[in-house]
Amino acid sequence: MNAYIASVIENVKARHANEPEFVQTVEEVLSSLEPVVAKHPEYEKVDLLSRMVEPERMFTFRVCWMADDGTWHTNIGYRCQFNGAIGPYKGGLRFQKNVYPGIIKFLGFEQVFKNSLTGLPIGGGKGGSDFDPAGKSDAEIMRFCQSFMQALYRYIGPDVDVPAGDMGVGAREIGYLYGEYRRLKGAFENGVLTGKGFSYGGSLIRPEATGFGAVYYLENVLKHEGESIQGKTIACAGFGNVTWGICKKAAELGAKVVTLSGPDGYIYDPDGVVTPEKIAYLVEMRGSGRNRVQDYAEKFSVEFHAGEKPWGVKADVIMPSAMQNDVHMEQAKQIAANGVKYYIEVANMPTTNDALRFLMEQPGMIVAPSKAVNAGGVATSALEMAQNSERLVWTEEEVDKQLHQIMDTIYNMSVSAAEQYGLGYNLVAGANIAGFQRVADAMMAQGVF
Ligand code: GLU
């Protein structure tokens, strides 16, 4: 490994010893940049990489809220403004009880590269809270979101930092967050948040965008192999917003998602999650707050495997679309043994680094990285920001057309970045390099700080 890259990684390991997820993503990304650093000695000269791995700023804040029974609770809120070189910080908020600085930092770092790949003017950020939305009433969620925004509103804005949803934060939470922001600011600055409801500035197609974008990306990969998506079986995980969008678009294009998963296990539906009734039921399951996928198995009389992950199922395409580190070495071996050809990451960092390397080394297997595959979500958020600043509403066709073009461009840019550095057809390294290049150019141009 290049000595400069190795030294930056060592520093990150020493500084963030208690944040393994952040160390993991830094190692994964920086190790792809060897040929770039070799070709551009000027980066080492100004120690660019050390600045890339350090957030511009990150802060915590206290969030107090009252439960319905009158008891008071205190959670920690976070916002990490990782890199603003190419645009206002942009990235979601995650509300989940396991949230701690290492999760926010890893997501923020990934977001910098992902947002750069979209080609749109958005920097990278992330935030959230260790608040656990499971089992909370609507009124509790509202009070929590209001309190969260009271603490955050001074530090964000349409040209400063634009949060959105992530796990545990959907349209309902964004609505409460925006309501409180508007009340505090006394202005209708709706470009401050994305993923809004349509009635107050949300974009058409935003709810579907991450899933649709992932399928558009997959189509590019299949085309490269001379194959079509028609008739393909896809194993997915999760049953949230992203998986819902994949099911919908896959069904429309004649493919079928055959697995879904939840904290309770996974379901196998050999006919596919393809009918409008089944697809709509995912939304109902999510809205119920029960957070179990067994409900699907009961409703549609399909297999349910308690406590298991779906990665042993034989499918043409694997799309880990639930959460980070879902696929470890053990599952990766199973996937390879099943002769799967397409491993298309969707969730942020769903694969451990050793499993990812193993899968990439399998002859004939094509691996695509989440930061490219799931970028359609944040890209459509940037389209939402554009509509808000223009005070216009674009049609569904217009947004979908732009999303499709952006995904094609992300794919093509990744392919050519890897080729340019002599790495062949390497979608993982290509995405890291292409994402890096744009941010690096902007940082070099703006001087050292
Ligand atoms: N949380 C999503 C992501 O990981 C969306 C972020 C956004 O729309 O700003 O990219």
Q: Is 170 in the pocket of ligand 1 (CB under 6 A)?
A: no
From 90, 105, 114, 126, the catalytic residue: 126
Q: Which residue range(s) make up the domain with 28?
A: 1-53
Q: What is the pLDDT of residue 1?
A: 86
Residues 93 and 33 in one domain: no
Is residue 166 in contact with ligand 1, taking CB distance under 6 Å?
A: yes
Question: How far, in Å, is the centroid of ligand 1 from the Cα of 46?
Answer: 31
Residues 214 and 176 both lie in one domain? no
Same domain, 324 and 243: yes
377 lines ligand 1 (CB under 6 A): yes
Name the band, by pLDDT with cuts 50, 70 and 90, for residue 289: confident
Q: Is the CB of 202 under 6 A from ligand 1?
A: no
The residue among 11, 27, 53 that closes a domain is: 53
Of 96, 378, 380, 407, the one to substitute when testing ligand 1's pocket (max ligand atoms within 8 A of C-beta) is 378
Instruction: Give 225-234's long-range contacts (Cβ < 8 A, gap of 24+).
Output: 225/341, 225/366, 229/253, 229/254, 229/255, 230/254, 230/255, 231/255, 232/256, 232/316, 232/317, 233/258, 233/272, 233/314, 233/315, 233/316, 233/317, 234/258, 234/315, 234/316, 234/317, 234/318, 234/319
* pLDDT for residue 32: 97
User: Are 345 and 214 within one domain?
Assistant: yes
* Ligand 1 atom, smallest distance to 374 CA: 10
Does 287 lie in the same domain as 247? yes
Q: Which atom of ligand 1 is nearest to the CA of 93?
A: 1
Which atom from ligand 1 is nearest to the alpha carbon of 94? 1
Mean of pLDDT values over 398-426: 98
Task: Tell me what pLDDT residue 9 has.
Answer: 98
Q: How far does residue 240's CA lie from ligand 1's centre (Å)?
A: 14
- pLDDT confidence of residue 222: 98
Q: Is residue 427 part of a domain?
A: no
Ligand 1 within 6 A of CB of 115: no
Q: Which atom of ligand 1 is nearest to the CA of 206?
A: 8
Q: 214 in a domain, yes or no?
A: yes
Please state the atom number of ligand 1 nearest to the C-alpha of residue 162. Answer: 9
User: For the domain that residue 152 is a member of, what is the CATH number?
Assistant: 3.40.50.10860
Q: What's the 85 CA to ligand 1 centre distance in angstroms?
A: 18
Average pLDDT over residues 428-436: 98
32 pocket-lining for ligand 1 (C-beta < 6 Å): no
Number of domains the chain contains:
3
Domain-embedded: residue 67? yes
**pLDDT digit string (tens) for 87-134?**
999 999 999 999 999 999 999 999 999 999 999 999 999 999 999 999
Residue 223 sits in the same domain as residue 363:
yes
What proportion of the chain, given as a percentage, has pLDDT over 90? 98
Query: Would you say the CB of residue 211 lies under 6 angstroms from ligand 1?
Result: no
pLDDT at 194 exceeding the cut of 90? yes
Q: Are 217 and 344 in contact (CB under 8 A)?
A: yes
pLDDT at position 40: 97
Residue 288, domain member (yes or no): yes
Q: What's the pLDDT band for 288 if we cut at 50, 70, 90?
A: confident
Judge if the beta carbon of residue 241 lies within 6 A of ligand 1: no
Active site residue 196: no
111 Cα: distance to centroid of ligand 1 (angstroms)? 8
Q: Whose CA is nearest to atom 10 of ligand 1?
A: 378
In a domain, 411, yes or no: no
* 89, 120, 210, 349, best to mutate for ligand 1 pocket (most atoms within 8 Å of CB): 210
199-254: per-residue pLDDT in tens?
999 999 999 999 999 999 999 999 999 999 999 999 999 999 999 999 999 999 99
Q: What value does the mean pLDDT take over residues 366-390? A: 98
Kindly report the protein residue whose alpha carbon is nearest to atom 8 of ligand 1. Answer: 378
pLDDT score, position 340: 96
| Predicted confidence (pLDDT) per residue in 263-278, tens digit | 999 999 999 999 999 9
Assess contact for 434 and 417: CB atoms under 8 A: yes
Q: Averaged over 351-362, what is the pLDDT?
A: 97
Q: Cα of 342 to ligand 1 centre, how many Å?
A: 24
For residues 24 and 157, state if they share a domain: no
- Structural domain includes residue 230: yes
Co-location of 116 and 152 in the same domain? yes
Regarding whether 269 and 232 lie in a shared domain, the answer is yes
Residue 185, pLDDT score: 98
For residue 165, the ligand 1 atom closest to its alpha carbon is: 1
The token duo for 111 is 């977001």
Domain stops at, among 340, 373, 406? 373
348 CA to centre of ligand 1 in angstroms: 10
Q: What is the mean pLDDT of the chain?
A: 97
205 Cβ contact list (under 8 Å, min separation 6): 212, 380, 396, 399, 400, 403
* Cβ of 381 less than 6 Å from ligand 1: yes
Same domain, 113 and 233: no
Q: Are 302 and 179 found together in one domain?
A: no
Gap between the Cα atoms of 267 and 249, Å rounded: 20
- Quick check: CB of 128 below 6 Å from ligand 1? no
pLDDT exceeds cutoff 90 at 306: yes
Can you give the pLDDT at residue 403?
98
Rounded mean pLDDT, 320-334: 96
Residue 30: pLDDT over 90:
yes
End residue of a domain, out of 347, 373, 399: 373
**Statement to judge: residues 224 and 116 lie in one domain:** no
